[in-house]
Structure 1
Amino acid sequence: MDQSLSAKETSARFHGSVVVGLTTTPASRAAFRWASDYARRTGARLSVVCVHPAKDSQPTEVSVPDVKLDWSAQARRTIDLEFSSSHPESGWTLTQLIGEPGPELVRAAENAQLLVIGRHHMAPHRPGSPVAAYCAETATVPVVIVPAPQDAHLGPSATASTVLQANR
């Protein structure tokens, strides 16, 4: 797993793509589905970025019936499975990093078309989490904030048509 990416690595790896943050949360998975659909419809290259907080990189064991796994190894496998089960298109990438999620996602999206992140259960006028708020306030590209499935009745913070208008 990569540590934090340098500015040069970020520029080359994610330039012109749709960057989506992926974790194991329902909101993040909803954002990943939205970004996958958007990338397929527009022909964009999708760059999936999972940032494991540095505190989770320490060997912490989690009990699963009859199995003990290193938490970060379990999280990496879950993310790998989520990505591969989406039937990624040619050119789509998955990058897993250790670092601060907000700054790493913003850095990854610096030269991207847009950044897609999930919104956890909050009021519709708020980004929903410290990471979402950081990305919305700091990113230099359009940010699409997708609600968690339980928040679907509130409507998405941005729809595909809204994002397309923003990119014109």
Structure 2
Amino acid sequence: MESTRTPCEPEVVVGFDDSPSARAALRWASRYARSAGLRLRAVHVLGQVPDPMAWVSSYDAAGYLGESPTPEDLEARIKDVVRQSFQALKPEPAWRLDFVGGSPGKTLINESRHSQLLVIGTREHTGIERLISGSVSHYCLSHSLRPIVAVPAPDDDERS
């Protein structure tokens, strides 16, 4: 029987949106990549730009409270926040942060198709939230041909 797997690159792909669970996943992936001598590629999926006020609360962008930011302003701010979090890891020279458009689950599966490992953050979705937003981690776990590590969000006292 012929395998459907493609050859692997010496790379770990981590989905990263700067949420607490994604920051935990990025920390885990960076430790693993360093210990295994692999490249790390963080992928931030740029979907539809969120409602400005929802973004303000979720990314704590207090600087926008008195203004009405444009979608371009929001996307630029999101990229800045994500870049700062990535740089805080003191990435190795071969490590990358990519911004890719698309649906988060499908995009992460596509971006990791040649990697050795996909790392994703998980958080509990319950009730209406799961119906509305779905679960990227569930999608990835259900569709990936590569191994996946799902890293939970830290407890509240670990977030600082």
Amino acid at match of 1:137: S
CA drift at 1:65: 3.7
Of structures 1 and 2, the one with the larger relative CO (CA 8 A, separation 6+) is 2
1:75 equivalent in alignment to 2:71: no
1:30 alignment partner, one of 17, 20, 24? 24
1:39 alignment partner, one of 33, 42, 48? 33
1:148 equivalent in alignment to 2:153: yes
Secondary structure, in 3 states, of the residue corresponding to 1:47?
strand
Where does the alignment leave 5 or more consecutive residues of structure 2 unmatched? 1-5, 127-133
Q: State percent identity of aligned pairs.
A: 36
Where does the alignment leave 5 or more consecutive residues of structure 1 unmatched? 1-10, 124-128, 153-168
1:64 equivalent in alignment to 2:67: no
The CA RMSD over aligned residues, in Å, is 2.8
1:21 alignment partner, one of 4, 8, 15? 15
Query: How many positions carry a matched residue from both structures?
Result: 134
1:85 alignment partner, one of 82, 85, 88? 88
Secondary structure, in 3 states, of the residue corresponding to 1:149?
coil
CA drift at 1:44: 0.7
1:110 equivalent in alignment to 2:113: yes
Q: Look at both structures and tell me which one has the larger radius of gyration over its CA atoms.
A: 2
Whole-Å separation in 2 of the counterparts to 1:151 and 1:83: 21
Amino acid at match of 2:148: V
Is the CA contact 2:125–2:135 (under 8 Å) kept in the aligned structure 1?
A: no
* Runs of 4+ more than 6 Å apart: none
